[in-house]
């Protein structure tokens, strides 16, 4: 799977951005899709994920503000980000992985469990 992330940019606090991640190469719908982010000097952290059946989960820091969705017909996953805060500033990465039906939250939040990664898109939120 090749992943191409887009939609990042600069926005003032309280604003919104919509990230997109277009996939190609394999059956997109077979994969759990995740969004991660990495701020300078920090480890890559989980933001959100969506399964093939559109079951979703979010990091506590973005719950109620971010929404993940997918369009399997377009091989695309989206991350709608509202009420952005300066602490949301980071490079955002989309990723794809295959998980067993018994996978739990601890499995979905680990970057190492995702096999394919996009190139990242910068999101900068100014105060």
Report the pLDDT value the prediction gives residue 6, as an integer from 0 to 100: 97
Tokens describing residue 125:
């939120």
Report the pLDDT value the prediction gives residue 83, as an integer from 0 to 100: 98
Q: What confidence tens digit (pLDDT) does each residue in 15-52 have?
A: 999 999 999 877 778 899 999 999 999 999 999 999 98
For the chain, the residue count is: 127
Report the pLDDT value the prediction gives residue 113, as an integer from 0 to 100: 94
Contacts 24+ apart (CB under 8 A), 15-18: 15/84, 15/125, 16/80, 16/81, 16/82, 16/83, 16/84, 17/81, 17/84, 17/123, 18/78, 18/79, 18/80, 18/81
Token pair 């939250």 is found at 105
Tell me the average pLDDT across 73-97.
Answer: 96
């Amino acid at each position: 799977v090749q992943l191409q992330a887009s939609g990042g940019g600069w926005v003032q606090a309280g604003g919104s951005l919509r990230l997109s991640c277009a996939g190609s190469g394999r059956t997109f719908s077979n994969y759990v899709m995740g969004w991660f982010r990495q701020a300078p000097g920090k480890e890559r952290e989980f933001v959100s994920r969506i399964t093939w059946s559109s079951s979703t989960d979010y990091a506590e820091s973005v719950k109620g503000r971010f929404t993940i969705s997918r369009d399997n017909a377009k091989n695309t996953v989206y991350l709608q980000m509202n009420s952005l805060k300066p602490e949301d500033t980071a490079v955002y990465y989309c990723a794809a992985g295959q998980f067993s039906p018994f996978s739990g939250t601890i499995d979905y939040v680990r970057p190492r469990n995702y096999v394919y990664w996009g190139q990242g898109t910068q999101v900068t939120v100014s105060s």
